[in-house]
Amino acid sequence: MGSMPARWSSAVVVVVATLAACSPQVDIAVVRGDDLTELPIDFVRFVFRAEGEEPIEKGPFAVEGIPGSDFAAVAPESVFSVDVIACKELDAGTCETEDTFIARGCAGGFSRSRDDALAITIELHPASVGNAQCPVEDPDADTVE
Amino acid sequence: MMMVASLAVCVVAVTGSDPAVFAGVAVRGAVSDDDVVQVTEQLRSMFQARGARVVAPIENKGTRERERRVLKDLDDRLDDAARAAAATDWNGARELLQDALALFEEHLAFTDDDAAWARYRELLVLQSTALLHVNDKVGADQELLQLLAVEPDWRPKKGVTPAAVAARFDAVRDEARATPPASLEVKSRPAGAKVLVDGRRAGRAPVAIELPPGVHYVIVEDHGRVHHQRVVVGDGGARVSARLGSPELEASVRLLAQLRQPATKKAELLDLASDVADVALVAVVLPWGRSVQVVCARVTDGELDAVVAAPLPRNPGAREKVVFQLVEAALTQKADGWIAAADAAQALRPLLLSGMGDTSINDAPEPAPTGLIIGGVVGGLVVVAAVGLGAALVFLNESNKDKGFTYGIDASALE
């Protein structure tokens, strides 16, 4: 195999370095729970909740069109949770209230420093189950109230 | 490598809607024979391929190069014929020898190259052998008679000449000796042209030569203007009358002679080029380190309307490509310009008229093809853009780390 021209190898190094630098710090895998094997899911939206901060809404997205990566303004060292809400349709008002959710799952109590990587797996359950579990309670909520 | 200190110019003419006319090639300065041959051949063939009509004087060096190539082909065919003969496939051998003869007559018969004529004699011996093995004694004798017609002193060689031919030879030689020689008269216009018969010098026209009847190959040549003719000389003899040159060719010869001088006035160039055709293209080949530069000019209705030039790479494939680009530009480009080089176009006309090339370059760099230059520029921009974008992304990412995090989602399990 011929050697790569210097300018292209330089470009490759730059691209690789850029990709490495910009690779997601938090990887979120969304999976189906055992109670949700058959239900078709077309849309999902994400809610990041950090202590003392307004919830950060992302989506809804079509399942096959979820952005590969995005930014969540959750400051380092903050304790945060991720709420994933699934819907069948996106008509007016749907996917906004719990009665329009068809599935939901969440995980919380995460905290990370500035340069930490984190992997999160969120299991979706039927809305009746998920709505009861989510959002994850703020551990300090009671104290705050 | 033998160097020549001469001038080479190629001239091409395009007359209005008539086909382009390619009128010649020459070299100015110390350019190697190999370069002269290669560039000349490529310019001739490429101008012709682009529809040009070639009236260029014959370059002996170019002819030699072509002859070398054809000689190899001829050797291959003779080898094949010998193998067929060894396998007693005599009809197959005869067919191969007929092909070899056609090749010789088309490309090699009008040369003084001893190697080519040695192949011709070998061919006739093999043909005679094959005919004897198919019981065609008359045909076999005719081949030997032809052999003696072009080479009266030929004799069989023990251990080399096939025994069947050697056995027939004495009878055939006696027949040849019994046949009176015939006269071949050669005239030329203009008179004084050199005459070669069967590869041997035979004086200057007009001339009468006594020779054995048979097929003879006659060349009449005068300063690159060549007439060649296959002549069947019977008992009553034969005549060859060679009218050398044409008005276009004569004008090209004069133009080339002028451009071989160390310097040519532009007015002289235009006058002489106009004599060639309404539109004439002239190229000068100059030394350039260990390679050459070619400068082609197009003269249209007495005006020098475009000069294009290119330094030629030494690599044969790259060189052919550059010559192709040069020919294309010479025929179509409207303004002066370099091909595959970045030199100033203003220097081209002085280079055409009086340039002597540059032999001081010890190791001339290969000129970068235009595509490579463009590719390099584009590639450089891509790299700069990639570096800039990468740096911006890295900076942005580092900055964002204080405010939050980037995340990726894998929801393929939901699909």
The pLDDT assigned to B1 comes to 36
The pLDDT assigned to B3 comes to 38
B363 Ramachandran zone, left/alpha/beta (phi>0; psi -120 to 50): beta
pLDDT winner (highest mean) among A14-18, B173-177, B266-270: B173-177
B279 pLDDT above the threshold of 70: yes
B415 pLDDT above the threshold of 50: yes
Test mutation, A4, A12, A26, chain B, max B CBs within 10 A: A26
For A9, nearest residue in chain B (alpha carbons): B383
Closest CA of chain B from A144, distance in Å:
24
For A10, nearest residue in chain B (alpha carbons): B383
The pLDDT assigned to B97 comes to 95
pTM as predicted: 0.48
The pLDDT assigned to B329 comes to 92
Between CA B171 and CA B25, with CA B202 as vertex, the angle to 5 degrees is 125
Summarised one tens digit per residue, pLDDT across range B121-156 is 999 999 999 999 999 999 999 999 999 999 999 999
Give B62-177's CATH code, choosing from 1.25.40, 1.10.8, 3.30.160, 3.30.1820: 1.25.40
B17 pLDDT above the threshold of 70: no
Between CA A123 and CA A129, with CA A126 as vertex, the angle to 5 degrees is 85
A129 contact partners, CB below 8 Å, separation of at least 6: A33, A35, A104
**Which chain B residues contact residue A105 at CB under 8 A?**
none
**Chain B CB within 8 Å of residue A136 CB:** no
The pLDDT assigned to B19 comes to 61
**Chain B CB within 8 Å of residue A5 CB:** yes
Mean pLDDT of B53-67: 68
Burial class of B140 by CB neighbour count within 10 A (0 to 12, 13 to 18, 19+) = buried
In the chain, the amino acid numbered A52 is: G
Chain B contacts in chain A segment 71-130 (CB below 8 A): 71-76, 86, 112, 114-115, 118, 124
For B409, nearest residue in chain A (alpha carbons): A28
ipTM of the complex, rounded to two decimals: 0.81
B61 pLDDT above the threshold of 60: no
**DSSP element (H, E) containing A109:** strand A103-110
Q: CB-CB: which of B379, B383, B394 is closest to A18?
A: B394
Across A63-67, B4-8, B224-228, B243-247, least confident range: B4-8
In the DSSP assignment, the letter for residue A100 is G
Burial class of A145 by CB neighbour count within 10 A (0 to 12, 13 to 18, 19+) = exposed
A81 pLDDT above the threshold of 90: yes
Summarised one tens digit per residue, pLDDT across range B247-265 is 788 888 888 877 877 777 7
pLDDT winner (highest mean) among A49-63, A123-137, B193-207: B193-207
Gap between the Cα atoms of B274 and B258, Å rounded = 14
B2 pLDDT above the threshold of 70: no
B8 pLDDT above the threshold of 60: no
Mean pLDDT of B316-330: 90
Q: Is A30 in Cβ contact with B413 (below 8 Å)?
A: yes
The pLDDT assigned to B383 comes to 67
The pLDDT assigned to B182 comes to 95
Above pLDDT 70, what percent of chain B?
86
Q: CB-CB: which of A11, A68, A124 is closest to B408?
A: A68
B52 pLDDT above the threshold of 80: no
Do the Cβ atoms of B99 and B77 come closer than 8 Å?
yes
Mean pLDDT of B60-67: 67
Gap between the Cα atoms of A135 and B9, Å rounded = 89
Q: Is A5 in Cβ contact with B397 (below 8 Å)?
A: no
Q: Domain B182-243: what homologous superfamily?
A: Immunoglobulins (2.60.40.10)
B377 pLDDT above the threshold of 90: no
The pLDDT assigned to B372 comes to 54
Domain ranges in chain B are 3-55+247-354, 62-177, 182-243, 369-415
The pLDDT assigned to B366 comes to 55
Mean pLDDT of B306-320: 89
The pLDDT assigned to B244 comes to 84
A134 pLDDT above the threshold of 80: yes
Between CA B233 and CA B224, with CA B105 as vertex, the angle to 5 degrees is 90
Summarised one tens digit per residue, pLDDT across range B180-196 is 999 999 999 888 999 99
Closest CA of chain B from A143, distance in Å:
25
The pLDDT assigned to A141 comes to 46
The pLDDT assigned to B371 comes to 54
**Which chain A residues contact residue B375 at CB under 8 A?**
none
Alpha carbon separation from A118 to A59, A76, A108, A115, B121 (Å, rounded) = 21, 12, 12, 10, 89
B159 pLDDT above the threshold of 80: yes
The pLDDT assigned to B341 comes to 82
Closest CA of chain A from B390, distance in Å:
5
With CA atoms as reference, report the closest residue to B255 among B232, B230, B280, B287.
Answer: B280
Closest CA of chain A from B52, distance in Å:
40
Sheet holding B8-14, edge to edge: B53-54, B20-24, B8-14, B279-288, B291-300, B303-311, B337-338
Across A10-19, B236-245, B261-270, least confident range: A10-19
B16 pLDDT above the threshold of 70: no
Under the banding of pLDDT at 50, 70 and 90, the label for residue B10 is very low
Q: Is A11 in Cβ contact with B401 (below 8 Å)?
A: no
Closest CA of chain A from B373, distance in Å:
13
Direct distance between the N- and C-terminal alpha carbons of chain A, in angstroms, rounded to an integer: 68
For B396, nearest residue in chain A (alpha carbons): A22
B239 contact partners, CB below 8 Å, separation of at least 6: B184, B185, B186, B187
Mean pLDDT of A29-56: 88
Gap between the Cα atoms of A118 and A103, Å rounded = 24
B214 pLDDT above the threshold of 50: yes
Closest CA of chain B from A25, distance in Å:
5
The pLDDT assigned to A93 comes to 65
**Which chain B residues contact residue A14 at CB under 8 A?**
383, 386-387, 390
Which has more confidence, B206 or A143? Answer: B206
**Chain B CB within 8 Å of residue A20 CB:** no
Across A92-106, B30-44, B50-64, B309-323, least confident range: B50-64
- What is the average pLDDT value for chain B, to the nearest integer? 83
Q: Is A18 in Cβ contact with B415 (below 8 Å)?
A: no
The pLDDT assigned to B5 comes to 39
At B177, list the tokens. Answer: 């000796």
**Chain B CB within 8 Å of residue A11 CB:** yes
Gap between the Cα atoms of B83 and B95, Å rounded = 13
In the chain, the amino acid numbered B246 is: S
Sheet holding B238-243, edge to edge: B207-211, B182-189, B238-243
Q: Is B393 in Cβ contact with A22 (below 8 Å)?
A: yes
Closest CA of chain B from A108, distance in Å:
15
Q: Do domains B62-177 and B182-243 have the same CATH topology?
A: no
